[in-house]
Amino acid sequence: MILKNGLSSFKTALALITCLLMFTMNVANAAPRMIPSPPNLAAKSWLLIDANSGHILVEHNADETLPPASLTKLMTSYIAAEQIASGTISRQDEVLISEKAWRKGGSKMYIRVGTRVKLEDLLRGIIIQSGNDASIAVAEHIAGSEDAFADLMNKQAMSLGMNNSQFQNATGWPAPEHYTTARDLAILAKAIIFQHPEHYKFYSEKEFTYNEIRQPNRNKLLWRDPTVDGMKTGHTEEAGYCLVASAERDGMRLISVVMGTNGENTRATESMKLLTYGFRFYETVRSYEAKNELVASDIWLGQQDQIKLGVDEDIWITIPRGSDKDVKAQLDFPSELRAPINAGDEVGSVKLVLDDKVLTETSLVALETVEEAGFFKRIWQLILLFIMGLFE
């Protein structure tokens, strides 16, 4: 373990050595990790991401802008979930169906003009039945018009970091400047899964009946793999057949995005290749929990002599299966921490390294507040620091 300025005391050194023994092992004797090349898919663009760590396992043309077809409805439903969470609308709202929504072609929920439909039913119509009519009805309910809703979609995309996306409608109906990327869709999928888990449950439902018309979910993976619990299909002549899928096995959640295949079965088969590859050869590990003490460091000029250090958020890493014992932790912080320090203050960094490659780096923070000591203790410790400085 490497520290910038050395250690201020034997006690701190002992604590750090203990941390090193607990969280690291030498990789010199590690067995070679046999991981094959990722699958090559019959698609224009694809991406596989570990949802917890954000680690990209596989990608090809992930930043190429492509028409998303009905994958657009992921954003439509996300905005609805956001509005519900904020209290602006409710799942129990009775939504008036306009003639525009009723007349829209393509895939339908088969709502009738002039009727009122519960918002929760419309959300199922969007997610399960991929209804263009339901999408327009929800867009109009939220923003007054589909054009205004498209503006909201673009603002939401920017706030999520979907920097290569532009939306012109709520359905994915072909339009010249309506596009997104595999990477942006993965960002959106992750936001839906983690920010709105109750809303995400709709994506696992295999069928929905409305107006006495039963329609199955177009995501064939819901039947092929019990660990798949979402998400959304899309198809137009220009976009080809597309699928965003997510599955969870043993605490590891993967998100796959496949765009531009030539058929319904192909998009499902190619998505399954990605998920199988990710689950078989990688694992997700939570290395550190938020607010748990990683090390106790000496602190000078404070009312107490030690301070607990840790991380603000859980640290997740994606690693080859069986290599968790080979991950090394590197804690880097100054040798002389001085009070006052508030809980949450950044004091250094934590790196996790595997085979000399940095997997992740995050801030090391104070887990408690240490107030400044009284006058006489500060004077005494300043003298000690001065004397120590002379020897160094």
Query: Catalytic residues, which ones?
Result: 70, 73, 130
Q: What token pair was written down for 265?
A: 């079965």
Characterize the bridge pairing of strands 346-354 and 328-332: antiparallel
> Residues of 165-195 as b/e, b for ≥16 C-beta within 10 angstroms?
bebbbbbbbeeeebbbbbbbbbbbbbbbbee
- The answer to whether 384 touches 305, Cβ cutoff 8 Å, is no
Q: Is the peptide bond before 176 cis (omega within 30 degrees of 0)?
A: no
- The answer to whether 330 touches 345, Cβ cutoff 8 Å, is no
Residue 351's alpha-carbon distances to 297, 315, 362, in angstroms, are 18, 10, 7
- E strands in the chain: 45-50, 56-60, 94-96, 116-118, 207-210, 213-216, 228-236, 240-249, 252-261, 282-288, 295-300, 306-310, 315-320, 328-332, 337-338, 346-354, 357-366
Phi–psi pair at 290, nearest 5 degrees = -60, 140
Residue 102's alpha-carbon distances to 92, 263, 386, in angstroms, are 20, 28, 80
Q: Which of 270, 254, 253 is nearest to 262 (CA)?
A: 270
Question: End-to-end distance of the chain based on CA atoms, in angstroms?
Answer: 21
